[in-house]
Structures are given as structure tokens and as C-alpha cells.
Chains A and B, each alone.
Chain A
Amino acid sequence: MWLTLLMALPIIGTGVIAILPKKNEQAIKQIALTTTLIVLAVSLAMATRFQPDNVELQFTEKYSWIPSFGINYALGIDGLSLVLILMSTILLPVVVLAGWNEPQGGRWSVKNYYVLILVLETMMIGVFAATDLFLFYVIFEAMLIPVYFLIGGYGSGERSAAAIKFLIYSLFGGLLMLAAIIALYVISSSQGGATFDLAVLSGLQMSSTTHNLLFLGFFIAFAIKAPLWPLHTWLPDAADSATPATSVLLLGVLDKVGTFGMIRYCLTLFPEASKTFTPLILVLAVISIVYGAILAIGQRDLKRLIAFTSISHFGFITMGIFAMTSQGHSGATLYMFNHGFSTAALFLIGGWMISRRGSSTIADFGGLQRITPVMAWMFFLAGMSSLALPGLSSFVSEFLVLVGTFTRYPVHAVIATFGIVLAALYILIPVQKALHGPITPGNENLKDLNLREKIAIAPIMAIILVLGFYPSPLLNVINPAASHVITQLGFSDPAPSNGGK
């Protein structure tokens, strides 16, 4: 019942908010924050009961939902889903606290904003915990709606256009996946009973053409989500228009559904097709890494810059997944977790800078180091985490991905390493422009972070620093799950492995 409890708590919070009067904004915010903190506490309690060495799904629940189609409400988590659920439940109170005054600028009330955020939290937990394909798909699609309203209702600039672009891209991918799901369902019903149970679906017999087509149906949907070049074009617009809190949830959590789906669904359901398409996907991943980094260097707008860095990062994650080594997999999973926090840090601090300055153009900042030292240092640290500075958490994951890829695909890994060099450029250029140098006129009176903002950013910074030195608690959870996937696919690591530690 842990997982259902986790999913139910935000809904209960929504219910409480719904009965509060619209004007009582403080109470609404406090309830939203309290709810997310309770969810965090429960998820941490659940994590302590998780047995890392058990590769089977844990905390499983199963209830019949639509028996006519063999659809169950089935939940369960392994190391991969646990890590992503924890990432979501940690990020939510942070974004609620960090974006305390954000919803005021929206079209609609503060109340609706928190209702949407909390509904989204339920769906985020559900999408990672679902073990019934149909349930997963339902949440996968349904979660577009709150995000759509969050971007369109509370964002800035061309928010409606960005929201609709996001939605159409995602829906298109989702419908391709729906066609593939229908096909799987029909094939399963001809082979011993219609079901959406992943374990059964992964053992279906089908022709290799069907197998490949169905794989593509899933993969395109996930590649749009994760954004993989060339399906990424919705992301910069969405990130540009969304509020920082929404951007954090969108890039930090929702896009992970794409990479999560590649592991959980593409690899598990279609092992053969995954191998067939690996060369192509690796090329796309490498292009994403380099392309995202080069475009990030060229950005003048802070939010778009962060969006393009994410495209580069998602390239790394995808490469780690399809390298088909256990280090690659562990690295990719850890990368998903770390990217959630480094992007959150960048977007939140960037958001504070932008709202203080009233501009998101990087050139408008300058000399922040002297005016607002705390904010500048935090931004610097977040940037260093994004370029994977040794000693920070993202270094471990990037290293693992590169090592895992190199053992099987050395050329790809070498090209991807250029991405790291470029990363230094795309982070150091804005750091130099915005933090150092002379104070740009107009910046003289900017205020440094207040107590609320410091409290909000503290846990993220703590995670970035602590996991940099001491990643093993997380790796202990991730490694068994990662090697399990690799073993199931019939791969063994090419080079002698030290367990990825």
C-alpha cells in the first residue's frame, strides 16, 4: 500500500486546497508545502524498507481495474523507479518553496496552480510505479494536461504557443505508442489471454518486422519526451515560457519518463529490436550531446541555454542506456537523478536572477558576484554540477556513462567526451558574463537570496555535494537493477568490471 498511499497523499492535499477560499493564498501555499513534505517523508520511509539486492519488483500491488481488457491497477518498483520517485518527491517541496511567489503572475488563481502541481505529483509517482502497461500509458498521457495548463497559464512570453507545441509533440508520440500498445494487446490475446502485464508481454512471439515497428512506436514517444535530437524542438520553447518551477518539473522529472520508458519498456519488451536499433540510437544520442552543447554555447537567453544543456545531458543518458553495459546503465540511472537536481538548481537560481533583474538575457547580468554573492556562488556551483566537475554528483554519473560506453563503443564515447569540453564552455561563458566582470548598469540594487530561497536551494546543493563524494548509497540501489536489465537482455560486460564503483 506504500505506493498507493504516496499517490493518494497529494490528491488529499488537492482536496483540502479545493475547499479553501481562493483568497486565502497563504494557507493554500502552506498546505501545498506541507503535503509535499509529507509525501517526501513517506517516500523516504518507504526507501528505507527497500531491499536493494532484491531485483524483483517490490511494494507490489495489484487490483483489477478493467477486467474486460485484462487491465490491472498494478504498481511496483525496482531500484530504477525508486530513485526516480525519490527524485520527484524531493524536488516537489523544493519547487513549491522556491516558487512561492511565482503563481501570482499567472492567468489564474494561486489555488489552481497548486491543485495542478499536486495532481502532477500523484501522476509522477504513478508513472514510475506502474507495472501495467495500460496504467502507465494512461498516466503518461494524462500528465500532459496539468503541465500544459501550468505552462500556458502561469508561464511568460509566448506561453500559449509553447504549451500547445509541447502538447502536440507529446500527444503525437503518445498516439504512436498507443498504436503499438494496441498491437501488443491484440498479439497477447492471441497468445494465451489479453493482458497488459509487462512480464507476460515481454515474452510474446512476433515477427521481427512487427517487433521492430512496435519498438519504434514506443521509442519515438520516449525520444520526444526525453528530447532526443531531432525530436527536441519543443523543449527550448517550453522551457523558455514556463515558470522556473514548471521547468524544473518538466525537464527534471517529466522528461525522465522518456529515458525511464526506454529502459523499462523499450529494452524489456523489445530486446531484439533494441539491439537492432542501437547503432542508430547511439548516433542520435551523440548528435544530441554535441548539438545541444553547441547550441547552448550560442544562446543569449539564460532559460534557453539551460534547455539546450539538458538536450546534451539527455544525449548522455540515452547513450548510457543503449551502450548495454551495466556501468552504462548504472551511470544513466544515476545521471537521471543528478540531472534532476543540477537542472533544478540552474532553473531555480536562474529564475531568481531573472525575476530580480526583469530580463533573461545573459548579457544583462554582470558583476553579480559582488552584488549578490550567495546567489552568484549558488549559480556557480549549479553550473559546475552541470558540467560535471569532479567532486560533484554529476561527475560520477557522466564518468560511468562514458566508461560504460567506451568498453563497447569507443568511438561514440570519444566523440561524446567533446561534449564535456563544450560543457565547460557553455557554463563558463555565462558564469563569466553574469557573475564576474564589471557591474552592468541596472544591477546595482539587486537583492541577494532571502531566507526562504536559501532554505529551498539548500537540500539540492547538499545532494549535489554529498553524492559527489559518496554516491554509493544510491549506487547500491541502482546497480542490482541495472545489471538485472543487462543480464536479461543477454549481455555481459565486455571488460572486467569493478562493479561500477
Chain B
Amino acid sequence: MSFISPTLDYTLLSPILILLGGALIGVLVEAFVSKALRSSTQLTLTIGTLVLSLAQLWKIRNEQSMGAAMGSVVIDGPAILLQASILIIAILSILVIADTDHFTALAAALPGSEQERHSIQTGNQVTEVYPLTLFAISGMMVFPVATDLITLFVALEMLSLPLYLMAGLSRRRRLASQEAALKYFLLGSFSSAFFLFGMAYLYGYSASVSLAGIRESVVGGSGNDVLLLLGMAFISIGLLFKVGAVPFHAWSPDVYQGAPTPITGFMAAATKVAAFGAMLRIYYTVFANAEWSWSPVISMIAIITMLFGSFVALAQRDVKRMLAYSSIAHAGFLLSGVIALNKSGLDASIFYLFAYGVATVGAFAIVTLVRDSSGEVTDLNRWRGLGKRSPWVASAFAGFLLAFAGIPLTSGFIGKFSIFSAAYESGAKGVVFAGVLSSAVAAFFYIRVIVLMFFTDPMQDGTSVEIPSALTRSSIIFSILVTIALGVFPAPLLSFITTLATFIR
């Protein structure tokens, strides 16, 4: 057996490779750079890496290739757009993550132990967060471009494992944070197992691990349909878990609540882009010809997810949990883009993912600012009167909420409009109707928060709004500007997406 040396197109892979390189250097920095300099070095390195990767991505934006890495990675328009969204969201998140006050001083120390107190006193910081984030981002970058099941699975694990870890790093309420991490890890492992199981079935069905090979079998219709159906079902479970669709959503409220808030924002935004990116690719290119078999199921899941997320969010009293359920509802809206299975559905989904991701990072960044002496205040009742104390912060948060609610002149409205019209175009009228109905329900709880912030008097309990650091502030300002700009002048981005977004097979 002769060994064929792999041919790799380094230019096309460079955005991913840069990230991996940056992450590895980050690990070295942990080992060799003195404690005092570590945090600033890591921050500079991480942002530099992300910006460099984004610049590289811009250079190759018009490239199309199936053969970047021996057919296991594809570079095409949607790939570039999704990767760029992930990178922009990542940069915005890093600016918030950089505020190290959110992370435990020493992750290995038992909560409440002498060791923990000591490490807090000595000013220890978990700067590992930076390389971990970079690893997660590189996994996310590969996930939507992978074209064989093995790469897909590796990417899935690569993006998940750092996230499991980071979810447990909260500085305050550490037990809740660790519980969240464990929960996320266990349930995530289950879903990975399902995913792997599905891969096996698909391999059994088509005798191929490459998406192109599976697609050929689906188009040819020659294989055993039972294997295909089982394979699709299990792969879908893995993906639906990652996007937090009902009934695979159970982890998300707890994890959103327990994880350090900057990580929650990053996770909520970037993971969604990566997972929906992969989902779009798989459904649009591989399963498209078997639409009869999955479309009704995914439609049902979409409808249930929207309604469930919106209705349960009504009952939430904690801002992070409310945003978690809202993100479940948004997963439902995004699923209608998958169901649409047409060009406008793809364009709309990419636009929606980007717009939602940016607004999510901004919203969670604001949650990090509302604090009392013992840390962040996420109880909504204690957000009363925020508009009086810090009108700018409250207004920005209101802006993000209005975008989530899909009020015109925000990015959320354009996203909702485009994704629903794509779904309607494909004939999924029930999904559109459920979407509109749950939007009305959802508007209620977003607006209730606005009422709390602006129309009720502040409570005398020392809740205050931290003056944001320059980095967090720039992240919030950028997010709100993008959210409004995409609502008022979405045309340039939309046409950019429309020209680029075509899957190559």
C-alpha cells in the first residue's frame, strides 16, 4: 500500500490554520510568560489572531474549492460568510471576555476553600480562557465547512470541549457554574454519541463518509432507506442539540445561567452560527433530495421550538434564563430557514445568524455590567429602574430586545421578514404562522423587561451598573450600531450575501 501525500491548499485553509496557530502559541504563553504580562499578552495575541484570520478570509472571499483539504473541507460562499460571522462574533465576545473579573481565579480550587481565597488574594487569573476560546472558534470554523463525516465530528468535538470547560469557570456562584458545565458536558456527550451513531448508519447506507458520496446515494435512491432515515434522525438529534431546539433544549437554560456571562454570550451566538451552518450545508446539499422524509418532522420541531421558547420565556424571572428561552425561540425561527430549502432561505438564514449573533453578544455584554456587591445581578426584579440610573446602558439593552422581538428598523425585523418569507415561499405556511404567533408572544416578555427598566422606580438595594471597560464598551457600541444599521440599511449586506451564498457540491 503506497502512501499518498495529502495536497493541502494552504491559502484557503489559512483562516483556520491561523486560529490553530494562535491557540497553540496561547498555550505556550501560558507556560512561559510571567503572570503579570500574561493577561495582556493573551488578549493581544487572541485579537491579533482573530483579525488576521478575518483579513485572510476577506482575501479568499471569491474562492471556491472542494479540494482545499483532500475533499474533507469545502470553501464556498456560505462557508466564507459563516466563518466571517463566527470571527466577527468572536472578536466582539473576546472584548467582553477580556474583562477577567468574570472568571474564577483558580479553576482547580474547591469553591470556598483556602486555596481559592489564596489565589484570589494573589490576583491569579485563568488566562487559559483565551487559547480555549481560540480552539473553540477553530472548531466552529471547521464545522460548517466540513464535507466528510469524520471531519464534521472532529470539528464538533473541538468546538464543544473548550465550551464545556469554559462554562465552569465562573468567578461567582461557582457551584452553579460547575453544575452547568457538567450538565453541558454529559448531555453534550450524549448528543455526540447520537451524532456518531447517525454517522455509522449513513456510512452503512452509502458506504461513504463524504457528504458528496452520501448525497449520490440519496439522489440515486439505491440504498436501504431505513438506514438513511435512522442516520438522518440521529445526525439531526446531534445538530438540534447544539442549536438548542425542543426537545433537545433542556441543557440550555441551566448552562446559560450558570456559565460566566461573557462565555454565555459567545456560546449562544457563535455556536448557533456554526451549528446552523453545518445543518444548512447538510440539509441543503445532502438531504435535500429526501425532503419528504424529514421536512414534516423538522417543521414540527420548528413550530414547537418557537412556541415553547416564547411561552416559557414569559415565566422567567432571571434575565439570563429569559435570554436562554428566547434563544430557543430563535432556534425555531432559524429552523424555518432550514425547512425553506431554497436560495432565499439560505441567504436569510445567514443574515439572521449574523444579526442575531451580534445582538446576542451585545445583550449578554450588558448583562455583565449590571451588578451589586456580590457580582452580577440577573434577577429581573432587581433591574427595576435601570433606565433612570444608566439611561444609555438601558437604552442599548432595549435596542437589543427590540431586535430580538423583530421590531422594524432593527436587524431582527429584516432577519425575521426574510426568513419567514423564504419559508412561506417554500410552502411552509404553518411554520410562518406559528412564527408570527410566537413573535407576538415573545414581544410581550421583551417589552416587559423594557417596562421594568424604564417605567418602574429603582429599588433601594444597591444594584448598580458598572462603568464598562473600554473593551466591553466598544463591543456593546459596535453591536448596537450593527443592529440598527442592519435594520435601516440592510441592502449592502443582503446583496453581498445573495451574490456569495451558493453551496457548491
Spell out A's residues near B (CB within 8 Å).
Answer: 64-69, 107, 137-139, 141-142, 144-145, 148-149, 152-153, 159-160, 163-164, 167-168, 171-172, 175-176, 178-179, 182-183, 185-186, 189-190
Contact = CB atoms under 8 A, between A and B. Distances in A.
Contact of B388 (A107, A145, A159, A175): A107
Interface string B421-462: 100110001001100110110011001100100111000000
B420 interface: yes
Contacts of A138: 408-409, 413
Interface in B386-444: 388, 402, 405, 407-409, 413-414, 417-418, 420-421, 424-425, 429, 432-433, 436-437, 439-440, 443-444
B498 interface: yes
A168 B455 contact: no
B31 interface: no
Contacts of B498: 68
A186 B424 contact: yes
A171 B440 contact: yes
A171 B445 CA distance: 13
A137 B408 contact: yes
Contact of B436 (A66, A67, A164, A178): A178
A164 B420 CA distance: 26
Interface stretch (B155-163, B265-273, B488-496): B488-496
A67 B451 contact: no
Given A66-B491, A164-B448, 16 more contacts: A64-B491, A67-B491, A107-B388, A107-B454, A137-B408, A141-B413, A144-B407, A160-B451, A163-B455, A168-B443, A171-B405, A172-B440, A175-B440, A178-B436, A179-B433, A185-B421
Contacts of B402: 145
Contacts of A69: 417-418, 421, 494
Interface of B: 347, 388, 402, 405, 407-409, 413-414, 417-418, 420-421, 424-425, 429, 432-433, 436-437, 439-440, 443-444, 447-448, 451, 454-456, 490-491, 494-495, 498
Contacts of B437: 175
B432 A182 contact: yes
B491 A68 contact: yes
A179 B436 contact: yes
Contacts of B414: 66
Contacts of B388: 107
A176 B433 CA distance: 9
Closest 6 CB pairs of A and B: A160-B455, A138-B408, A68-B494, A179-B436, A141-B408, A182-B421
Determine chain A's interface SS by DSSP, over half rule: helix
Nearest to B351: A68
15 contacts: A65-B491, A67-B495, A68-B495, A145-B402, A148-B447, A163-B451, A164-B448, A164-B451, A167-B443, A167-B447, A168-B440, A175-B436, A175-B439, A179-B432, A183-B424
A141 B407 contact: yes
Contacts of A183: 424, 429
A152 B409 contact: no
A66 B488 CA distance: 9
Contacts of A144: 407
B303 to A, nearest CB: 14
Contacts of B405: 171
Contact of A182 (B424, B447, B455): B424
B333 to A, nearest CB: 13
A152 B454 contact: yes
A338 to B, nearest CB: 31
A216 to B, nearest CB: 13
Nearest to A65: B491
Contacts of B447: 148, 164, 167-168
Contacts of B408: 137-139, 141-142
Contacts of A167: 443, 447
B436 A152 contact: no
A176 B436 contact: yes
B39 to A, nearest CB: 39
A168 B444 contact: yes
Nearest to A152: B455
Contacts of A152: 451, 454-455
Contacts of A64: 491
Nearest to A137: B408
A141 B439 CA distance: 14
Nearest to B409: A142
Contact of A66 (B421, B454, B494): B494
A153 B454 contact: yes
A126 to B, nearest CB: 12
A142 B413 CA distance: 11
B440 A159 contact: no
A329 to B, nearest CB: 29
Nearest to A179: B436
A142 B455 contact: no
B455 A186 contact: no
B502 to A, nearest CB: 14
Nearest to B391: A108
Contacts of A145: 402, 407
Nearest to A149: B454
Contacts of A149: 454
Given A67-B491, A142-B407, A171-B440, A159 B455 contact: yes
A186 B425 contact: yes
Contacts of A66: 414, 490-491, 494
Contacts of B429: 183
Contacts of A153: 454-455
Contacts of A68: 347, 491, 494-495, 498
A349 to B, nearest CB: 28
Contacts of B490: 66
A171 B498 CA distance: 30
A40 B429 CA distance: 45
Contacts of B417: 69, 178, 182
Contacts of B436: 175-176, 178-179
B386 to A, nearest CB: 13
B123 to A, nearest CB: 41
A160 B409 contact: no
Contacts of B420: 178-179, 182
B308 to A, nearest CB: 18
Contacts of B444: 168
Contacts of B433: 179
